[in-house]
Amino acid sequence: MTNDSQQTAPNFAVDSKSLYREEGFTDMKTATIRKLTPVNADGAPDNSRNPIFMGFTQLMSPKGAIPIQCMLKASNMEEALEQFPDAMKQTLEKMLEKAGEAQRSQESRIVMP
């Protein structure tokens, strides 16, 4: 390897103080919720950190599936299930806003011959 390739090589180091065990839950229709449970380097639960819940779904469009994901501000699975619908709606609204802004930006560009 040359010095140039060594400088641009990605860092593959694992942060052993920021490990999580991942569990997936789905209703096989709309919702997938991932629970990330903090663990120590030996795989034992790390009770000094709180679990993280992530919501995932996808919408079908003429160009294929559009993935949507967001954090769920929940401390347990019941709260995550309860928050899922509103969190997805809010995330979709933000995505549509950004898409509209991008489209307006493209339309307002001046093209010089």
In a domain, residue 107? The reply is no
Instruction: Tell me the pLDDT tens digit for each residue of 17-52.
Output: 999 999 999 999 999 999 999 999 999 999 999 999
Which of helix, strand or coil describes residue 71?
A: strand
- pTM, two decimal places: 0.79
Note down the domain range covering 64: 16-97
How many domains does the chain divide into? 1
In a domain, residue 86? The reply is yes
Q: Identify the pLDDT of residue 6.
A: 58
In a domain, residue 102? The reply is no
If pLDDT is split at 50, 70 and 90, which confidence band does 69 have? very high
In a domain, residue 53? The reply is yes
Cβ atoms within 10 Å of 38's Cβ, excluding its own: 17
Would you say residue 1 has pLDDT above 70?
Answer: no
